[in-house]
Amino acid sequence: MSEQEQSAKPTPAQTVHDLSEDALGFGSTELRTVRDLLLRPRIVLESWMTLGATGGGLYARPLRLYLALNAILMLALFLSGGSGHMITALPPEMLNPLIETSGKSRDAFLADADGWMTLFMVPLLSALYVMAIAPLLRWWDPENLGWRRGLRAGFAFLNAWTLLLLPISWLLYGQGWAALIASIAMWVMGIATFLRMGKGRWYRTTGPGVGKALVALIALYAISLVGGMAITAIGLAAGLWF
C-alpha cells in the first residue's frame, strides 16, 4: 500500500462521523453537541450565547439540532400509533355528526385525521414551545439578549430537555398509567434541565431557580393545550375535506 493510500484511509473517528451523518443526519459536531448538552449543558448555553449560533464552531446550530430531534419525536409518535386518540377522545355527539357529514366510514375519517395530525403535531408544538419560553428566558437573563439570542436560549433549553425525553417519548404519546408516570418524569427532567443549564443566567440560587423552572414548564404546558386544540382542529378538518 502506498503512502498516499495510507493517508487517505479514514480514521475510526471519521468512520463514526460518516456513518452517523449518513444514518441520522448527525455528524461529529452534532454528536459533540448532544454529548455536552447531556453532560455540561451550562457550557453549551454559554457558548451559544457568547460565541454565536455555532458556539465558535464547536457546536451544532440549536435550531438545526432541534429540527433533527423533532424528526426522532415524529418517528416515536408514528410508532406509538399516531395521534388519533385525540380525535377518538372527543364526545360522540360531537364526532359522529362530523363523520356523517364527511361521507366517509369511521375508520377512513379517523385515518385521514390521524395522518394530518401526526404530520403537524411535532412541528407546530415545537414552534409554540419556543415562542412560549423565549420571552421568559430573555426576561430572566441579566443580559439584554434581544430576540435572536432569546430564541437561541429557548432552543438550547428545549434541545437539552428533549434529549432526556427521547427514551420515554413513546410513552408520552400513549395513555394510561405509563403515560402518567412518563409525564411526571418529563416535569422532573424539565426542572433538572433548567437548573443544570441556567444557573448564573436564569437564576442565582436553587429556590428561585426551581420556581422559575416551574413557571417555564407551566407556560409550556399552557401553550401545549392551545397547540392540542389546533392539532385537533386540523385533524377534524382533514377528516372532513381530505
**Distance separating alpha carbons of residues 184 and 174, to the nearest angstrom:** 14
Map residue 79 onto helix, strand or coil: helix
pTM for this predicted structure? 0.83
pLDDT reported for residue 132: 96
pLDDT reported for residue 25: 53
Span of 41-50, 51-60, 119-128, 214-223 with lowest mean pLDDT: 119-128
pLDDT reported for residue 176: 81
pLDDT reported for residue 11: 55
Helices marked H in the chain: 3-8, 12-24, 28-39, 41-50, 62-79, 85-88, 92-102, 106-140, 146-165, 169-172, 177-198, 206-241
The neighbour count for residue 82, using CB atoms within 10 Å, is 20
**Distance separating alpha carbons of residues 158 and 223, to the nearest angstrom:** 14
Question: What average pLDDT score do residues 110-124 get?
Answer: 86
Q: What is the pLDDT of residues 136-156, one digit of tens each?
A: 999 999 998 899 999 999 999
Using the Cα atoms of residue 110, residue 113, residue 115 and residue 118 in order, give the sign of their dihedral. negative
pLDDT at 21 exceeding the cut of 60: no
Domain spans, the chain? 62-241
Cell readout for 115 is 395522518
pLDDT reported for residue 26: 61
